[in-house]
Structure 1
Amino acid sequence: MKLKSVCSFLLAVILPIFLYGHAMATELSGKVTDSQSKQGVPGATVTIAQLRLTTVADVNGNYTFRSLPSKGRFLVEARSVGYKSIIKTVDVSTGGSLDFSLSPSIVETREVVITGTPITGNSKSNSTSAASVSKDQLLSASSTNLIDALSKQVPGVGQITTGGAISKPVIRGLSYNRVVTLSDGVKQEGQQWGDEHGLEIDQNQGDRVEVLRGASSLLYGSDAIGGVVNILEPLAPAEGHIKGEVLSSYATNNGLSNNSVMLTGNQGGFVWRGRASYQNAYDFKTPDGYYINSGFNNTSLSGMLGLNKSWGYSHLNFSYFKNNIGFYDSDPGDPLYTTDGTNRTLDYPRQDIRHYKLAMNNNFLIGTGSLKLDLGYQKNQRRELDSPTPALFFDLNTYSLDAKYYLPEGNGWQPIIGLSTSDEHSLNKGTEFLVPAYDQFAIGAFGYAKKTWNENNTFNLGLRYDYINNNGKAFSVDGEQKFTGFKNSFSNLSGALGYTHVFSEGLNFKANAGSAFRAPNPAELGSNGVHEGTSRYEIGNPNLSPERSYQADATLEFDAGMLNGSFGVYENYIHDYIYASAHKGDQITVINDSGNSQTFDVYRYGQVNANLYGVEGSLNLHPTKFLHLDNTYSYTHAENRSFDRPLPLIPAGVIHNTLRFEPKIKALKDFYASVGLDNYFKQYRIDDTFETPTNAYTLINAGIGATFKLGAQPLKIYVSGNNLTNKAYYDALNRLRPGRLSQEDPTYGVLNPGRNITFGFYLPLNIK
């Protein structure tokens, strides 16, 4: 699908809907009160996520939404600090008001609106195992990036790290092209197959983040076989309002300074948002010293222009992200650490990554149904630099379309049909080569239905068909063939079933079963070269078959006031699981552009049958209003069934414990102090052909914070510390840890970062 086709579709479909869209508008108003005092709750937030609208109750607890559609059913959520949130369904065609009576609570309820599933719904009635992480939770975690923060908040989520600059999400033991990251409603495409490739996304842009655990291929295609990370921008404020935020932090371990400013407004339904962020860090420090040339810096600019009207909404998002990351290309015997790594100038080799994105998000209300349409264009440029001239230079252009039509509800059924397609074109513009230039076209169609009865039972089912075509280009260097080229196509069906039952207000059960598939990506099919940043030579296999997953999970969630939590189990059997492995003695010598030779271990892509199963959950105790003990745990057991040995790069079992103290202090608002233990178990289940085991370790963390008044604006100030004892350790997903292939030279092992203390503030702005 060329850009011209996308534009033609835009003109042919969207403009007529705009012309059609002069529908009658209606208002929704009401009052948010305290269930005990019957007084209004000033400052309560009321949200209609399906229309991307939010407003704040006035001093008396009253709120109003204007210019809403005259027809349709929507979820309305009311929440405020210190209360259980409430989610109600409103039929706007009936008019009238919608009031909320919030009950005071020791903790805010975990029941929230989840938008990343096929049908927006509250978490209780949604069978998908989903977690929502708020802005405050992301800020309070002592982390270097978004995935690092999520791994400390959501059970079952981990990270494959390359120093402090790069983290790849791991969900239930699956990563790389098996986990989809969504931003602005569009799948992020940036060569996510690479070990040392992070997310080219501003970590400050998310107002909250949803994590969907388990196969979500039905909605997002074959790359979502493991799960989804959905980054949600702030919703548009109420009409006539301008809001914003300023945040800044500094971390002591690598001198990471993080600064971001955002403004957003709504004038008569014309909505807009702008954000600018900048991060800069020098080498990260381990207990043995600063790891050489591990600093990074990134710049991000983003914005949105759109309309929120009675016919729905249409938003144009645009973003630019530039990331520079240093790497250390050491030879056996070279020192890994320096005593002074505080110079912020990056040496060679390094990465220069630039990501450009345009995304148009639309939701058109047509009668009692609606059409949700997301169009996207992305350009990802990845330069691997040994000098000012790029060695490797990938230039990836991706066009995408995702359309879902929500049919009118009837007799408890909510049916939708959907179509998605993408067109990728990747070019090599450097002097060295790893993956051939390629074209990839994908298209998929699905149907989904959700049935609710007795208000306590929900059943859903869906079926999807996908077709993917790959065309790898043959290429020769100095008369010698580098890539032989490949042409292949893959197609298959995916299906899913889900069920939820709400036993009571404080107890609910959810279960899922399904089958999904993932097509091999061009890197797995056609690699033939040195992968900069990983110090290895990778060889693809054009004869790979698609992966086929058979998965099931079940979760029990409970909330008894002083005690709440969840317990879940899952299993995922994957036929023809793809990964790159190496064997001692399999090496190749390469002569670079300077005429120097270097020997690399060879990693070849192959397939096995794999079985992954595990447990995850949480147990939270709240004996008083000011004392909270939160605990999460997760464990994944992953087996290579073909060779009767473990799979590589599987996270160790972990238990996170946090004791949080929140006394009421007159002079301070929202004061808290916390101390935490992160307990990681020994990971002895490794692929011992090229991995080494890691020992168990415990990290001690702590935090303190409060909110002050800066004029009329609330100012949140916080301090958080991670690894306070400066523990020397290797994490099982640390790519820089010792490997069996280089065991004869233990200096290849790079410890995880040592002590890190972060100082920061967050200033939300209510300008008008």
Structure 2
Amino acid sequence: MVIHLRLVLLVLFLFANSNVLWAQYLEIAGVILDKQTNQPIAFGTVAVKGHPHGTTTESKGRFSLKLTEQAFNSVLIASCIGYRSDTLKLMREKKFYTLKLEPVKSHLNEVVVTGVSRATLARENPIPVVGVSTKKIEQAAESNIVDVLVKSVPGLNAVKTGPNISKPFIRGLGYNRVLTLYDGIRQEGQQWGDEHGIEVDAYHIVRAEVVKGPSSLIYGSDALAGVVGLIPAGVADSGLRGKYFGEYQSNNGLIGNGMRLTYRSGRWSYVAAASYRIARNYTNQIDGRVYNTGFREMNALGTVKYSSAKGYSSLNLTLYNNLQGIPDGSRDSLARRFTYQVAEGAADDVTKRPIVPENILNSYQLSPLHQHIQHYRVYTKNQYSIGAGDIDFSVAFQQNIRREYNHPTQPDQAGMYVRLNTVNYAFNYNVPLFNNTMLSTGINGMYQDNKSKDATDFPIPDYRLFDAGAYAFLKWSYERWTVGGGLRYDQRFLRGKDFYTATDPVTGFSRRVAGNINNAYLQFPTIDQQFNGVSLSLGTTYKVSEQLSLKANIARGYRAPSITEYASNGLDPGAHIVYLGNRSFEPEFSLQEDLGGEFSNQYVSASLSVFNNNITNYIYLTQLTDASGNSITDAQGNKTYQYQQSRAQLYGLEATLSIIPEGMAGFSFDNAFTINYGFNRSVRYKGAGIQGEFLPLIPPFRLLSSIQQEFKLKQGWVNSFKFKAEADFNGAQNRFLALNNTETATAGYTLIDLSAGAEIRYTRQHCLQLMLQVNNIFDTPYQSHLNRLKYFEYYSQSPNGRTGIYNMGRNICLKAVLPF
């Protein structure tokens, strides 16, 4: 398999650099400056409207682009979050361009390319898209990249299982309904699991784009709720450059270090990066230190890129290795101190487990019962022009290995051990512009092979999956109007053989066996299933004025059931859940309407987006109970959940408001408000309220408000410094799925964060960034409604009246970013 993959990559690389049929380029250069200070703007985005050509500015604000002759009929767009975008008409005889951007706090004009492969402004895109800049990501002090985005993107939430595991939810939908892209390649790593995080290195993500709403048109199944696009670092400057990242977080003693080196000479450029993060158990006022929430994470990546007058090809490699603790919530019934498992099966009495010693609670030592996740990825990306059009294509291979250790008597024996191989492929052709119209067509999909290895628990069967989809997307612009829409057809083939298990007489554990063994149990019968679906989208944007744009979009999304929803039948030891699937499930289809508007002037920027989403064959989890209404559990207290299917409706809104008072340079008052409602529209639950009418995992309304003051200095060694105060108000969630004790109500809470940062100039070209941030400064005890640890409880009552595990308490974060 590996040899074949190497041959494919080599052939693609050679083909991409052939000299046949490719259009020639003309090179331009330029610089982006701050209009008020005349200082260069680093990490700004430069693109040609309606074309795939784009780049970012280097540390001195400079950029260069190779353009086809057809691009000179368009305009050059320069943008950066915190500045008003600017455009210049491209002229064939002009080779150098200077663009000056006016500082504002608007987030509305970020150039985005997600979903269309051509540069466009977010305010001109009918589909709601939010960009998160390099500066925002580097200055954030959160535990992982998803938490960074949650602070910046209204409508994006995270289901959390401790500090380092955050699964993105968009407008109340998550898991296999949110597609995560890494450099345009879909992330595949057993994302069906509650406690399965995203296997990426946060230090080297330089930009992100979040698409809110069905994106199946471009990406196929699993983009029903939207897309989180993570864009890794590339090469901006010539010569050898580097960047060091260092951070410390007081609550769980997180220590992180990362290094990135880039080099560009002529047509070749290279990126090499690595990072290491380690953390112990986190703490809060109610639980003290939460046992088994530490982790050790290592990452590495490398890129080789060849650019010529015809386009570019890149070969990329990423390595991810994480030892991740997962708590089970067991503790002493009186003192509420955490305990740990020492026996197996019926011999394990949860109420009599020994208490975790203080030296273990406070150390960086991981429990023998933990997860080990490895993710390897190699891929090639290519983009070239053919005549006045262009193509881009990619091929990727990913391997995800997940071991979950849950046997204290045999700590080296994995409870779950699965290996997932994925080959992704994508080809897109952008037709030459005609009559103000852009047409993109393409095919993409994946092949997967999943196998259980030496394990004792088997929540999902072995399977093979093949996905294929073809689409066409059309976008027309004229004067104030932009209209876009498209159509796609997908097919998915799912195959699997009979899977037998039996009890090992020596260990007492379950193991995989052949079908002819005595007492063999057919845990997973043969799978031979095909799913298909049609996706479509139609939307428009009307530019009322330079300050105001109005949007409308309607989209139909498609999603095939995940392997757990369709065929699960066993314990996921890391999630502490016994999953039961349903082989009669049909694909999900959503029909979502979006209406919105965006306004921005020198002092105010605001946006409003309203959505309504109706889903047929909606799949969700409910807890199973016995005749007395008690949870069905195994000897270790692991609860049983079964997937159900019904009609559902979700609706809500997102609104933002940023104010920059006249005469108060560097000051801003920023607000983001979101509200979501989710209903099970089955006739069976009509009017049932919390006993079935509400969907699970719907976030409560949220208001995020902040005031910020930044001072920019023209002289001295301090380039700038800023202060920020932020209030994160989350309402109570009383619309929850109480049926069969699946969920409980969640109280509202407010978190106050304070931060300060400075840019210290230590050379004429480089500034050291220093950040100090205090999260939850008042050490407020709280449980997020999307916190899975809230339900890790073995007792019906508690001496302090508190049940489940609480979120992290006060956390002091120090971070440094040193470019060189």
Please confirm whether the aligned pair reaches a TM-score higher than 0.5, indicating the same fold: yes
* Residue 684 (1) aligns with residue 708 (2): no
CA RMSD of the aligned region, Å? 2.6
CA distance in 2, matches of 1:157, 1:201: 18
CA distance in 1, matches of 2:732, 2:586: 34
Gaps of 5+ in 1: 591-596
Quote the offset at 1:51 in angstroms.
4.3
Decide whether the 8 Å contact of 1:691 with 1:739 is kept in 2: no
Q: 1:493 aligns with which of 531, 534, 550?
A: 534
CA distance in 2, matches of 1:345, 1:31: 50
Gaps of 5+ in 2: 339-355, 503-519, 687-692
* Residue 669 (1) aligns with residue 669 (2): no
> Within 5 Å, which residues of 2 pair with 1:309-328?
309-328=308-327
Per the alignment, residue 546 of structure 1 pairs with: 587
Pair 297,7 (structure 1): closer, same or farther in 2 beyond 3 Å: closer
| Number of residue-to-residue matches in the alignment | 750
Per the alignment, residue 437 of structure 1 pairs with: 462
Q: 2:643 aligns with which of 571, 589, 605?
A: 605
Listed one character per residue, the Cα deviations across residues 301-350 of structure 1 (whole Å, up to 9, x for unaligned) are 00100111111111111000001111233447564547663211101310
**More divergent stretch after superposition (196-205 vs 738-747):** 738-747
CA distance in 2, matches of 1:599, 1:31: 62
* Residue 448 (1) aligns with residue 473 (2): yes
SS in 2 for 1:737: helix
CA distance in 1, matches of 2:14, 2:101: 45
Per the alignment, residue 99 of structure 1 pairs with: 97
Per the alignment, residue 345 of structure 1 pairs with: 365
**More divergent stretch after superposition (340-349 vs 752-761):** 340-349
**More divergent stretch after superposition (110-119 vs 183-192):** 110-119
Decide whether the 8 Å contact of 1:86 with 1:100 is kept in 2: no
CA distance in 2, matches of 1:751, 1:249: 24
**More divergent stretch after superposition (123-132 vs 650-659):** 123-132
Listed one character per residue, the Cα deviations across residues 236-268 of structure 1 (whole Å, up to 9, x for unaligned) are 225x33332111110111111121111112211
Decide whether the 8 Å contact of 1:69 with 1:312 is kept in 2: no
Quote the offset at 1:141 in angstroms.
3.2
**More divergent stretch after superposition (108-117 vs 283-292):** 108-117
Decide whether the 8 Å contact of 2:494 with 2:527 is kept in 1: yes
> Within 5 Å, which residues of 2 pair with 1:117-156?
117-118=115-116, 119-156=118-155
Listed one character per residue, the Cα deviations across residues 10-58 of structure 1 (whole Å, up to 9, x for unaligned) are 5666534422267544221346567689x78586856348345444486
SS in 2 for 1:409: strand
Pair 23,493 (structure 1): closer, same or farther in 2 beyond 3 Å: closer
SS in 2 for 1:736: helix
Quote the offset at 1:563 in angstroms.
1.3
CA distance in 1, matches of 2:90, 2:484: 22
CA distance in 2, matches of 1:473, 1:154: 43
Question: Aligned letter for 1:402?
Answer: A
CA distance in 2, matches of 1:696, 1:552: 29
Pair 124,72 (structure 1): closer, same or farther in 2 beyond 3 Å: same
Decide whether the 8 Å contact of 2:725 with 2:755 is kept in 1: yes
Listed one character per residue, the Cα deviations across residues 576-620 of structure 1 (whole Å, up to 9, x for unaligned) are 111121133275565xxxxxx445322111101110000102111
Pair 41,527 (structure 1): closer, same or farther in 2 beyond 3 Å: closer
Per the alignment, residue 276 of structure 1 pairs with: 274
Question: Aligned letter for 1:658?
Answer: S
Quote the offset at 1:542 in angstroms.
1.1
Question: Aligned letter for 2:790?
Answer: R
SS in 1 for 2:18: helix
Decide whether the 8 Å contact of 1:184 with 1:361 is kept in 2: no
* Greater strand share, structure number: 1
**More divergent stretch after superposition (436-445 vs 530-539):** 530-539
Decide whether the 8 Å contact of 1:87 with 1:112 is kept in 2: no
Decide whether the 8 Å contact of 2:47 with 2:119 is kept in 1: no
Per the alignment, residue 382 of structure 2 pairs with: 362
Q: Identity of paired residues, percent?
A: 31
Pair 351,76 (structure 1): closer, same or farther in 2 beyond 3 Å: farther
Q: 1:527 aligns with which of 551, 564, 568?
A: 568
Per the alignment, residue 343 of structure 2 pairs with: none
Q: 2:669 aligns with which of 626, 629, 644?
A: 629
Listed one character per residue, the Cα deviations across residues 437-486 of structure 1 (whole Å, up to 9, x for unaligned) are 111111000011100001x2100110000000111332111312221232
Question: Aligned letter for 1:602?
Answer: T
Q: 1:252 aligns with which of 250, 273, 278?
A: 250
CA distance in 2, matches of 1:520, 1:264: 41
CA distance in 2, matches of 1:474, 1:281: 42
Per the alignment, residue 594 of structure 1 pairs with: none
* Residue 646 (1) aligns with residue 691 (2): no
Decide whether the 8 Å contact of 2:16 with 2:313 is kept in 1: no
CA distance in 1, matches of 2:777, 2:33: 43
Quote the offset at 1:117 in angstroms.
2.2
Per the alignment, residue 728 of structure 1 pairs with: 781
**More divergent stretch after superposition (567-576 vs 338-347):** 338-347
> Within 5 Å, which residues of 2 pair with 1:50-449?
50-51=52-53, 53-56=55-58, 63=62, 65=64, 68-69=67-68, 71-72=70-71, 76-79=76-79, 83-88=83-88, 90=90, 94-97=92-95, 99-107=97-105, 110-118=108-116, 119-238=118-237, 240-288=238-286, 289-331=288-330, 333=332, 335-337=336-338, 341-386=361-406, 387-429=411-453, 430-449=455-474
Pair 46,447 (structure 1): closer, same or farther in 2 beyond 3 Å: closer
Quote the offset at 1:165 in angstroms.
1.7
Question: Aligned letter for 1:650?
Answer: I
Pair 79,418 (structure 1): closer, same or farther in 2 beyond 3 Å: closer
Quote the offset at 1:77 in angstroms.
4.0
CA distance in 1, matches of 2:229, 2:99: 30
